[in-house]
Amino acid sequence: MNSVSRCLTLFLVVLATGCSVNPVTGNKELSLMSAEQEVMQGEKLYDDYQQQQGGKYVVDPELTFYVNGVGQKLARVSDRPDLPYEFVVLNNSVPNAWALPGGKIAINRGLITLLEDEAQLAAVLGHEIVHAAARHSARQMTRATLLNVGLMAAGLAAQSTDYGDWIMAGAGVGANAWQAHYGRDQELEADKFGVQYMVEAGYDPQGAVELQETFVKLSESQQRGFMENLFASHPPSAARVERNRELAAANPGGTRNKNAFQSAIRQLKRDEAAYKSHEQALAAAQKNDFAGALSLTEKAIQQQPKEGLFFVTKGQLKMAQKDDAAALQAFQQASKLNPEYYLGYLGAGLMQKNAGQNSAASQSLKTSMKLLETPIAAYHLGEIALASGDRNAARSYFEFAAQGSGEIAEAAKAQLNKLAQG
Ligand SMILES: [Zn+2]
């Protein structure tokens, strides 16, 4: 398509779905996305974002069941009860929560442990429901779409790390939180309607006041660096506390469900020490103290042997120490504990390939690609395909790997050049 007709098409799309009424506020605004596109977009990104941020928290599946129940209760009284809402708990220590278009919402276990009761949890989820229902993130994507049509090709959002940095991918799990960057007006809107949903679902809106107070307190403490992600997407302020206080005062009373909440997070609380050891291990690894990191990881495993993430870190550390056999074993244990998370398969595939076990490696890498497409898995699948003489398969793997930047992309480009010449 030439640029004129592309522009025209874009223009027509704007005309077709352009002026929509915001379903929460009733205001008219520009949106390139129809409701169907919005749901599809959210669904497409939801799995990738979860994988990139530690995957689902599976040590205690009851917790996700509970959180989803609270979320659905709020969603039913929202302005768009018809969206296919979903609420997951992510295996990530960073206090954060986010929403994608179409009602796809996530909350990190690192935020849940900061809360005291169900009303506070409802405040977080109600706030995120507004971001989704009022198309806040959709509007943001509309801006991105206008800037670079077509750049949202599959996989571009899912670029993992290069081979050299890959050891630290586990540490990245902490740092890599999705930041939505909403505007101040959108934050106030989310607070306001979030409190309204809380009240309609029977919760004490005081929970929203306390939540903001907790955030303000944390933003003033030394924990600040740790909290950066949450504050970047939902900046706390005394003004927001004040506004929530007014909204709560107008609607006093409601349930807190403290006992139900405390019993739902019992396992998380019990494992706090284990996750603390793991975070210390990641900090040690970042300073290249692999021996120290390893002993802290072993400690975390002793404290909670069912946590697959600890075995991923162990595998990465063994890999850094060039102990491929021990690394492979750890990665396989990680996948056994959490079969829906990509990193264990990816690590196992790399170790199997190093050992010359190409068919096992191919299987592991393909499983990791099904969960999250990464340039590094694609590159090594390309090499395996090339070794077996399948030049076409090799080419398409290298083409995918070449889309990124850095070591892996350069290596993939070199392979493509060789293929073009031969
Ligand atoms: Zn927000």
Kindly write down the DSSP assignment for every residue of 170-188, as one continuous string.
Answer: HHHHHH--------HHHHH
CA–centroid distance, residue 177 to ligand 1 (Å): 14
Handedness of CA 265, 269, 271, 277 (dihedral sign): positive
pLDDT band at 261 (very low <50, low <70, confident <90, very high): very high
pLDDT in tens, 376-409: 899 999 999 999 999 999 999 999 999 877 788 8
CA–centroid distance, residue 186 to ligand 1 (Å): 7
CA–centroid distance, residue 55 to ligand 1 (Å): 22
CA distances to 18, 52, 141, 147, 299 from 158, in Å: 29, 7, 16, 20, 32
Highest mean pLDDT range out of 43-52, 209-218, 397-406, 408-417? 408-417
Between CA 48 and CA 106 the distance in angstroms is 12
Determine the pLDDT at residue 140: 52
Query: Interior CA angle at 266 toward 262 and 270, to 5°?
Result: 140
Between CA 122 and CA 204 the distance in angstroms is 9
Determine the pLDDT at residue 417: 97
Average pLDDT over residues 277-297: 91
pLDDT in tens, 262-280: 999 999 999 999 999 999 9
Determine the pLDDT at residue 234: 66
Determine the pLDDT at residue 231: 61
DSSP state of 76: H
Average pLDDT over residues 340-357: 95
Q: Is the pLDDT of residue 152 over 50?
A: no
CA–centroid distance, residue 185 to ligand 1 (Å): 10
Beta bridge partners of 86: 104
CA–centroid distance, residue 64 to ligand 1 (Å): 21
Q: Is the pLDDT of residue 174 over 50?
A: no
CA–centroid distance, residue 131 to ligand 1 (Å): 7
Determine the pLDDT at residue 83: 94
Between CA 370 and CA 388 the distance in angstroms is 21
For residue 327, give the nearest of 310, 356, 347, 342 by alpha carbon: 347
Between CA 169 and CA 163 the distance in angstroms is 10
CATH number for the region 271-421 comes to 1.25.40.10
CA–centroid distance, residue 239 to ligand 1 (Å): 14
Beta bridge partners of 21: 28
Determine the pLDDT at residue 9: 37
CA–centroid distance, residue 233 to ligand 1 (Å): 6
The CB-based long-range contact list for 180-185 (8 Å cut-off, 24+ gap) reads 180/98, 180/99, 180/131, 180/136, 180/137, 180/140, 180/233, 181/140, 181/232, 181/233, 182/131, 182/136, 182/140, 182/233, 182/234, 184/235
* CATH 1.25.40.10 intervals, the chain: 271-421
Determine the pLDDT at residue 223: 55
- Alpha-carbon 155 to chain mean position: 15
Average pLDDT over residues 125-138: 84
Average pLDDT over residues 313-338: 95
CA–centroid distance, residue 99 to ligand 1 (Å): 9
Report the range of poorest mean pLDDT among 166-175, 265-274, 328-337.
166-175
Determine the pLDDT at residue 15: 37
CA–centroid distance, residue 340 to ligand 1 (Å): 28
H/E run at residue 99? strand 97-100
By CB atoms closer than 10 A (0-12, 13-18, 19+), residue 267 is middle
Residue identified by tokens 């989803």 is 68
For residue 352, give the nearest of 382, 332, 369, 333 by alpha carbon: 332
Determine the pLDDT at residue 286: 82
Q: Is the pLDDT of residue 171 over 60?
A: no
Q: Is the pLDDT of residue 413 over 90?
A: yes
For residue 366, give the nearest of 355, 354, 352 by alpha carbon: 352
CA–centroid distance, residue 327 to ligand 1 (Å): 40
Report the range of poorest mean pLDDT among 71-75, 102-106, 304-308.
102-106
Beta bridge partners of 88: 106
Between CA 254 and CA 207 the distance in angstroms is 10
Determine the pLDDT at residue 403: 86
Determine the pLDDT at residue 35: 80
CA–centroid distance, residue 315 to ligand 1 (Å): 36
Average pLDDT over residues 202-215: 92
